[in-house]
Amino acid sequence: MTLYTAPLLPSGLQDSLTPATEYDRHVTNKLLDRFTLFGYAQVAPPLMEFEDTLLSGKGAAHQYNSFRVMDNASQRMMAVRADITPQIERIARSRLHQKDAPSVLRLSYAGQVLRVAPSGLSPKRQLRQAGIEMIGQRSHISSLEVLTAALESLELLGLNQLVVSFSLAGLFEALFHHCLPASQAIIHKAIIHKDMGSLPEAMPYKQQTLDLLHGTVVTDGLPASAQEMINHMCELQKEIQQRFAHVTFLYDPFDSLGFDYHEGVCFTLLDCATRQELARGGNYRLDHHISGCGVTFYVDRLIDTALNIPPSPPMQHLSATTSYAQGKAWRDEGTVTIHATQPTLASRVTFE
């Protein structure tokens, strides 16, 4: 007797079977449908691009976490995307430079990404992403629209107890850019570890930094760029609180982990019950004249967290003598039909 040995998949990769695939389709469609109602047009960039294109600009943040492959046709190196956002920026940049380009582009996307190493606690290296990007002039309105669309989308999935954690990418540089590199390193380490006692006595804006780390919003005495970020965040929080009374807010102004190419107000959306990160986004700059704001959803986590997953449709087993018209009538009503493969036996396939 020959024993069957299942082939091994690479670490971090796995088959997705039903019902997970059904949940995936439901979650993704819910997100994309809501994005469409906000005026976002869906685009679908390729899974791979030339390395020097995909990993340039904002894509450089993923240069060490992207798989490479040689393109036999051009003899040039290609990279598999580790994040879809840089591709959306490339599309937007080319569109905005056209003669009849709109002043603001609203683009949505959904697809899979592949990474050399997993991130966070999840061992997965192949991930599903979905999101939106609003690209054009920077304004308070764009941040408000993107965050509103994100929260509405999560509500559709039954997630009503949400946490919005704000951070300010670039705040550290705005406060301490004129300090010596050695001093910057000491200050940065103390801030990241929330070690107030290690902050140098002679550092600039020490009292304001302590207040910010303790969750107190202060702007007095800070540089204009820092004041602008903080005021933008406060206005955004006030507007969102009026629209979503059930949302809880956190505030970690110096948290820049995962916001490599962002600038200004950024946010992370978490499920209040599990504290699992569901999405993150914020503002960034493409060049001196073009800015953007976007949010990326982690679809794999939403599949595990979403509550409004519809039940499986009803199923009807049909005998081999059932007419085509009768079977079609069942299907038109939304019933799954399983046709018998033998005159007296209805076959059903299940996945364990």
| CATH assignment at residue 58 | 3.30.930.10
Query: Which has more confidence, 213 or 88?
Result: 88
| Whether pLDDT at 34 is above 70 | yes
Separation CA 297–CA 118 (nearest Å):
16
Please give the backbone phi and psi of residue 248, each rounded to the nearest 5 degrees, phi first. Answer: -100, 145
Q: What is the pLDDT of residue 114?
A: 95
Residue 160: both structure tokens together: 């009503």
- Give the pLDDT band of residue 347 (cuts 50, 70, 90): very low
- Asked if the model's pLDDT at residue 344 lies above 80, the reply is no
Domain contains 280? no
On whether both 65 and 100 belong to a single domain, the answer is yes
Give the integer Cα–Cα distance in Å for 183 and 287: 30
pLDDT at residue 102 tops 80: no
Residue 230 located in a structural domain: no
* pLDDT band per the 50, 70, 90 thresholds, residue 286: confident
27 assigned to some structural domain = yes
For the chain, what percent of residues have pLDDT higher than 70? 93
Q: Is residue 245 part of a domain?
A: no
Q: 47: closest CA among 80, 13, 89, 91? A: 80
Q: Are residues 320 and 308 in the same domain?
A: no
Q: Are residues 298 and 332 in the same domain?
A: no
- Element (DSSP H or E) covering residue 282: strand 277-285
203/342: higher pLDDT: 203
Looking at the fold, whether 342 and 291 belong to one and the same domain comes out as no
Same domain assignment for residues 293 and 328? no
Question: Is 121 in the same domain as 152?
Answer: yes
Helix or strand holding residue 133 (H, E):
strand 126-136
At residue 351, the pLDDT reads 46
In the chain, the percentage of residues whose pLDDT exceeds 90 is 41
> Over the chain, what is the mean pLDDT?
86
Given a cut of 80, is residue 345 above it in pLDDT? no
Predicted confidence at residue 2, as pLDDT, reads 63
Is pLDDT at 6 greater than 70 in this prediction? no
Amino acid at 137: Q
For residue 2, being part of any structural domain is answered with: no
Per-residue pLDDT, 296: 96
> How much is the pLDDT for 346?
46
217 inside domain: no
Vertex 231: Cα angle to 228 and 235 (nearest 5): 135
- C-alpha closest to that of 207 among 218, 195, 198: 218
Q: Which residues contact 59 (CB under 8 A, 6 or more apart)?
A: 53, 83, 86, 87
- Is the pLDDT assigned to residue 107 strictly greater than 90? yes
Average pLDDT over residues 93-116: 85
Do 290 and 342 lie in one domain? The reply is no
Q: What is the pLDDT of residue 269?
A: 96
Residue 244 is assigned to a structural domain of this protein:
no
Type of residue at 214: H
Is residue 298 over pLDDT 60? yes
The pair of structure tokens assigned to 230 is: 């903080």
* Number of domains forming the structure of the chain: 2
Cα-to-chain-centroid distance, residue 86: 12
Q: Predicted confidence band at 4 (pLDDT cuts at 50, 70, 90)?
A: low
Average pLDDT estimate for 316-327: 88
pLDDT tens column, 143-176: 999 999 999 999 999 998 999 999 998 888 888 8
Give the range of the structural domain holding residue 153, as residue numbers without chain letter: 15-157+286-312
The confidence score (pLDDT) of residue 5 equals: 64
Residues 83 and 118 in one domain: yes
pLDDT of residue 285: 83
Residue 277 within a domain? no
- CB neighbours (10 Å) of residue 228? 15
Over residues 230-252, the pLDDT tens digits come to 999 999 999 999 999 999 999 88
- Residue 99 pLDDT grade (very low, low, confident, very high; cuts 50, 70, 90): low
Strand pairing class (68-71; 336-342): unpaired
